[in-house]
Amino acid sequence: MRLQNRVAIVTGGAYGLGKAFVQGYAREGAKVLIADIDLPAAQRLEKELANEGKQALAVMADVSRVTDTQEMAKKAATHFGRIDILVNNAAVFGRVKISKMVPFHELTLGEWQRVMDVNATGPFLCCRAVFPYMKAQSYGKIVNIVTSQFYATGGNIKYAHYIASKGALIGLTRALAREMGEYNVTVNGIAPGSTLTEDSGNEAAVKEREGAIAGRCLKRVEYPEDVVGAAIFLASPESDFITGQILAVNGGSLFI
């Protein structure tokens, strides 16, 4: 198992991509802290993993709050003894609804700020919270979940707040890779394509993604499980000399 005895924190870990990451890491031997604003859902996942003989801990955390992120890191270190991996997955987009197909000049400042608080400031706060632990042990892996749509050159996306927030996270990935490298901490990103999560797995959502499928080299729906392998790779020793990179997992819809 590639993550045997490693300790991982996955934000937004109770649903969708985050849940798939939690399950994939646990299968690879990691002890996982499941951080989510929906504590009951995180606790259900913790129980499922415990029934399979895997170690997990559910914690309520709003990543836009300094105190929540600090407490999240403290609980991981206290409960499991260390912090090796952080996956910044929590975001305002799917389960937490935002305006889509809305021109930028019609977005409210409040919605713009909420998206930035969670999608850009949240990962910054989480990185800052885990860094002392990773620095002390001279080892760490940070994986930021961005989006392939940031690199799109065509189409009329019309969710400027989301794209801008993920662009900020791509910039943060590169900046922190430089700063944290001297402490043997790698910082990389994964850019999924349009992914069918459990929150959007209805017939209407599948139909909505027909356009995305048509634009891919691989002509099928993208599922959370398609992204797990990349997340495991970037958290494992196999990627120890890779940092500051964005790995596109989108079925060939965009080449980065």
Residues tagged active-site: 162
Residues 26/49, Cβ–Cβ less than 8 Å: yes
Q: Residues with Cβ < 8 Å from 218, sequence gap 6 or more?
A: 251, 252
**Residue 223: C-alpha distances to residues 16, 99, 110, 208, 215 (Å):** 9, 23, 31, 14, 16
Distance separating alpha carbons of residues 167 and 6, to the nearest angstrom:
29
Q: Which residues of 97-118 are buried (b: 16+ CB within 10 A; e: fewer)?
A: ebbeeeeeeebeeeebebbbbb
- Pair of tokens at residue 78: 């206290």
Residues 55/31, Cβ–Cβ less than 8 Å: yes
